[in-house]
Structure 1
Amino acid sequence: MKKVTKYILITLLVFGVLFSAAYFAKTNSKSAITYKTETLFKTTIEKETVITGKVIPEDEVEVKPQIGGIIDRIFVEEGDQVTTGDLIARIKVVPNEQNLNAAQGRVKKAQISFATRKKDFDRNKSLYEKGIISNADFIANELLFNQAKQDVLNAESDLKIIKEGSIGGSNAANTDIRATVPGTVLEIPVKEGDQVIESNSFNAGTTIAAIADLGKMIFEGKVDEAEVASLRVGIPLKVSLGAIEDQELDATLQFIAPKGSEEQGAVQFKIEADMVLNDSIFVRAGYSANASIVLDRKEDAFALREALIQFDRKTQDPFVEVMTGDQKFERRDVKLGISDGVNVEVLKGVSEEDQVKVWNRTEERDEDNENDQDDA
């Protein structure tokens, strides 16, 4: 019995010595850590946002026919430079049977009316020359005769337009489609032999070609509702093109949509910015682009590196640790201003003389683990 008690005491003594050694080793290792410190510094902080969008022409015009038919010939290619009046394409008119029959009917009706008016006019002219009718009656009858004559001409012109595409007439029965503005031909969505529809108040018509001035380009993108309130017309942007590396183009915000649209659960507002093009690069319509916009800027701001800021685990309030003695620190709650992702403005809680502890996330995880164990 005495031997058992002796062995138990020896075992407890050994474990006590080992535990004491481990405790003092851990305590000494903690006290041996020396933390660096930093102080507030003055700097300029810019809060930026990046907007994804594309580059498009400021004005793009779609050339459409004024009469339906078949594309007989196309005279330009995509990328060609054109001026106002240049021939784009030629259409061969294919008359609509219903419209053709109606036009032919109007011609016959006008001719019948004209024949009747001519007989009346000839009879009244003879009576007028004999002094049987007055001058006023003769003039009124002459007016009706001239109107009937003009109705025939109008009906025949309408019939010719339906059959040939113009009243000028040609053996090829065609109509010419010409450029309405100067610029670059961006797209020709039709080919020879395609049927096209005329543009009118009931139909947008078939696009023969799209023309734009590539010397006037704009950036078009969308901004989240959380950031649109910080924007104003006239602020500068920096536009980087996806197709051209190491090139930034200046731009000026010129439009912010008054109404947003919901996309994937978020409200987005369209913006447009006039771009200043560089002669050394050729910017094509449709390039994907990113625009950087400075939402807020603060000069001579007292700041710390964001890496020095800690956040309370429960309240998420920001704080730092300030040195009070030799490697001794106390917590200071701080009020933060704008941030650029690297430096953050400190509005309250720390003075210029305070030495702020440079901490690391490994230390924070160790402390959290200890706190969790204590809570358990």
Structure 2
Amino acid sequence: MKKILKWTGIVVLVLGVLWAATFFIKSNSKGAITYETQTPFIASIEKKTVATGKVIPEEEIEIKPQISGIIDKIFKEEGDAVKNGDLLATIRVVPNEQALFQARGRVRNAELALNNLKIEYDRNKTLYDRGVISNQDFNNLKLQYDQAGQELENAKNDYLIIQKGSAGGSASANTNIRATVDGTILEIPVEMGDQVIQSNNFNDGTTIATIADLGQMIFEGKVDEGEVGKLQVGMPLEISLGAIEDQKFGATLKFIAPKGVEESGAVQFTIKGDLEEDESFTIRAGYSANASLTLEKKDSILVIPEALLQFDRQTDKPFVEVETGDQKFERRDVEIGISDGINVEILSGLTEADKVKVWKKTEPIKKGTEEEEEGEE
């Protein structure tokens, strides 16, 4: 029994050695990897960045009331073109009862004061005509009488403004809301019956309408702090609109914010550019847009695909492998310049005649070899 087990173990050991030897021979019998090469070439490189933002009017004017009340009627709609002075809406005044009573009281007091001075004025005029009082005394009394009349007129106007919104009901009454510039109505955020608040030193007031000139549009976006230092006012921009596909619009950079704002851990700087007019397209306010800016450009320079570069693990300096013979390569350090993410500029280390090794080339596995190995297993 022991002899049978002993010979069985020997047989298993011999078979294992034979299988390992066969596997090793087959593994080493595969052909060596053949690396392809590429040569440097002359090309142009543009280093660009993209700023995301939107297209907005250069100026948006908010129309606000000069008196509080309720929207009585709206004469225009969003999208209408208006001229300076066009009537947009009217306001119905709802006077404060306390202020109305106080204004009425001021009118009554002014009437009483005027009546009293009138009696005094008539009496002294008779004496003045007879030469009893001096010219100076009469003139002083006449001045007081005229001032009382003016005070009554002012009190009546205040009362009418509180009650009706205007003193004389003229076309320029505070209850008439008119456009202050030429342009297009972008938004009317109120409706008939809405209560509105006047604009004053303590309150911005309720916006009745927003008007802008859609013929003067600008791009407003943001760029990262790492790229803002390379921008200059006057640089050309290429604008792409999300709402208009396959169409580019020209623009000129006119503003770079002097102060950045931190957003999601990165400092962003606002930029603005004047959009060139194109009458064949209707550009609406608020379109999302991307602006492409050329940070650096070089023409007719020696370049290679960036994928051919390797970097030293210790010095982090770039290098490539150049062919010196049939599938024989040597390391060569290179100095690189700008890159567009596809090609990179070679400042030194290579010539157009050099053949650069294409890295990470693997030999394809033959289907027949796979089937044979599976069958043997």
TM-score by length of structure 1 reads: 0.87
Q: Which amino acid aligns with 1:282?
A: T
CA contact (8 A) 1:69 1:195 kept: yes
Indicate the residue corresponding to 1:241 in structure 2. Answer: 241
Q: 1:112 to 1:203 in 2, by over 3 A?
A: same
Indicate the residue corresponding to 1:41 in structure 2. Answer: 41
Indicate the residue corresponding to 1:281 in structure 2. Answer: 281
Residues in 1 aligned to 2:169 and 2:301: alpha-carbon distance in whole angstroms? 77
**Cα deviation code 1:87-112 (max 9, x no counterpart):** 11111111122322232232223223
Deviation at 1:339, TM superposition (A): 1.1
- How many residue pairs end up in the alignment? 356
Deviation at 1:16, TM superposition (A): 7.7
**Cα deviation code 1:110-143 (max 9, x no counterpart):** 2233233323322332222122222222222211
Any residues of structure 2 matched to 1:1-376 within 5 Å, and which?
A: 14=18, 17-18=21-22, 21-22=25-26, 24-26=28-30, 29-30=31-32, 33-169=33-169, 175-313=175-313, 315-360=315-360
Q: Which amino acid aligns with 1:40?
A: P
Residues in 2 aligned to 1:36 and 1:229: alpha-carbon distance in whole angstroms? 41
**Cα deviation code 1:151-184 (max 9, x no counterpart):** 11011101101111111238xx982111111111
Which deviates further from its counterpart, 229-238 or 335-344? 335-344
CA contact (8 A) 2:186 2:210 kept: yes
Cα RMSD, aligned residues only: 2.5
Residues in 2 aligned to 1:88 and 1:16: alpha-carbon distance in whole angstroms? 94
Deviation at 1:36, TM superposition (A): 2.5
CA contact (8 A) 1:70 1:92 kept: yes
Residues in 2 aligned to 1:221 and 1:241: alpha-carbon distance in whole angstroms? 13
* Secondary structure in 2 matching 1:44: strand
**Cα deviation code 1:41-87 (max 9, x no counterpart):** 22211111111111111111111111111111111111111111111
* Secondary structure in 2 matching 1:245: strand
Segments of 5+ residues of structure 1 without an aligned counterpart are 364-376
CA contact (8 A) 2:66 2:174 kept: no
Q: 1:139 to 1:248 in 2, by over 3 A?
A: same
CA contact (8 A) 1:160 1:169 kept: no
Q: 1:357 to 1:268 in 2, by over 3 A?
A: same
Q: 1:19 to 1:105 in 2, by over 3 A?
A: same
Q: 1:357 to 1:158 in 2, by over 3 A?
A: same
Q: Which amino acid aligns with 2:22?
A: L
Segments of 5+ residues of structure 2 without an aligned counterpart are 364-377
* Secondary structure in 1 matching 2:273: strand
Deviation at 1:15, TM superposition (A): 6.2
* Secondary structure in 2 matching 1:163: helix
CA contact (8 A) 2:44 2:299 kept: yes
Residues in 1 aligned to 2:328 and 2:102: alpha-carbon distance in whole angstroms? 101
Q: Which amino acid aligns with 1:292?
A: S
Residues in 1 aligned to 2:140 and 2:224: alpha-carbon distance in whole angstroms? 73
Residues in 1 aligned to 2:16 and 2:191: alpha-carbon distance in whole angstroms? 97
* Secondary structure in 2 matching 1:154: helix
Q: Which amino acid aligns with 1:35?
A: Y
> Aligned residues: percent identity?
60
Q: Which amino acid aligns with 1:197?
A: I
